[in-house]
Amino acid sequence: MASPSDLGVGPTLKPRKGRSRRQPRTRALVRLRSPLPSRRNGTPSLKAGVAYVFLGEIPNMPGHCVVADAKTGQLITGYHTDNFVEIPEDEV
């Protein structure tokens, strides 16, 4: 039997270990779990206290997600899923 490398197929991705936090539901309103550091150019990355719509995990980047700003609709990609927490319905 041929090995995956013989077939030109790379190694398969292994699931990340230690993911203890629950991933938000798709299309749920979320906010940052805690403030994130500024980008290299000094501008803030994401704003605390802003509502985002969680659109899901990026298939080829496990542990990373796509969110949209709930007011502007701007798409934001590549942040860790663990950075977001669902907003409880009584706070919406």
The first and second tokens of residue 30, run together, are 């979320």
CB-CB contact of 17 with 23 (8 Å): no
Domains of the chain as residue ranges with CATH: 29-37+46-87 (2.30.30)
The first and second tokens of residue 42, run together, are 């000094």
pTM here?
Answer: 0.72
CB-CB contact of 87 with 51 (8 Å): yes
Sequential pLDDT tens for the chain (92 residues): 554 444 444 444 444 455 557 899 999 999 999 988 877 776 667 888 899 999 999 999 999 999 999 999 999 999 999 999 999 999 88
d(C-alpha 61, C-alpha 45), whole Å = 19
